[in-house]
Amino acid sequence: DAGITQSPRYKITETGRQVTLMCHQTWSHSYMFWYRQDLGHGLRLIYYSAAADITDKGEVPDGYVVSRSKTENFPLTLESATRSQTSVYFCASRNRDRGPGYTFGSGTRLTVV
Amino acid sequence: AQTVTQSQPEMSVQEAETVTLSCTYDTSESDYYLFWYKQPPSRQMILVIRQEAYKQQNATENRFSVNFQKAAKSFSLKISDSQLGDAAMYFCAYRSALQGAQKLVFGQGTRLTINP
């Protein structure tokens, strides 16, 4: 029972490079989310998806791109990384018919130098 | 838009004592869910307790209980008999119960230290 898997766990990249963070869930949950965690801000929603091919912006979407061609995958791409995108990124999922619970991945710590 | 505020960036408590973490929120809705999540150094987000707004009874899970004051829009977490394993970041979160509303809104977090 793998649940929800994020990769990589740690990533260092240079300013201006494109980087993709991966998220894979094994339950076929309808909803998937990307959050970033920063000290003093808690977790803020970047993008979310209600189903394959349906995505929507969250609170802090600028500089990020998402796609969801398959229900189980929800990659997050930083098109041109900036130092302000140094953060811990969490993927989460939930099933619309299974109550209010969420399942989180273990996070990716991204450092942009 | 809904907001969640945790006004205590850090808290500390002696082992075996009781500590209360504060959380306030702002919403115009009457039906919603509130959560407390624990994040230990492993970074894993662990659901501690949740409360449905339409339930007047405060939720309890073993040593963890909440004081839900709907009119005051307050949702505090009480940890009794604190243990070293309780040391973590704690996040309060809100989710609307409206059809189609799926987003969790988080507070800033409170770092809890347990002193042996």
Predicted pLDDT of residue A40: 87
**Per-residue b or e along A34-73, where b marks 16 or more CB atoms closer than 10 Å to that residue's CB:** bbbbeeeebbbbbbbbeebeebeebebbeebebbbeebbe
* Cβ A53 vs Cβ A73: under 8 Å: no
Please check whether residue A61 touches B, CB under 8 A: no
Which chain A residue shows the shortest CA-CA distance from B44?
A106
A104–B44 CB contact, under 8 Å = yes
Option in B43, B52, B107 nearest A107 (CB): B43
Please check whether residue A98 touches B, CB under 8 A: no
* Averaged pLDDT, B1-5: 92
> Over the stretch A20-53, which tens digit does the pLDDT of each residue have?
999 999 988 889 999 999 988 999 999 999 999 9
Which chain A residue shows the shortest CA-CA distance from B49?
A101
> Over the stretch B29-72, which tens digit does the pLDDT of each residue have?
999 999 999 999 999 999 999 999 998 899 999 999 999 999 99
Nearest 10 degrees: Cα torsion A9, A29, B65, B41: 0
B91–A43 CB contact, under 8 Å = yes
- Single-letter residue type at A32: M
* Cβ A30 vs Cβ A68: under 8 Å: no
> Over the stretch B85-115, which tens digit does the pLDDT of each residue have?
999 999 999 999 887 778 899 999 999 999 9
Predicted pLDDT of residue A100: 65
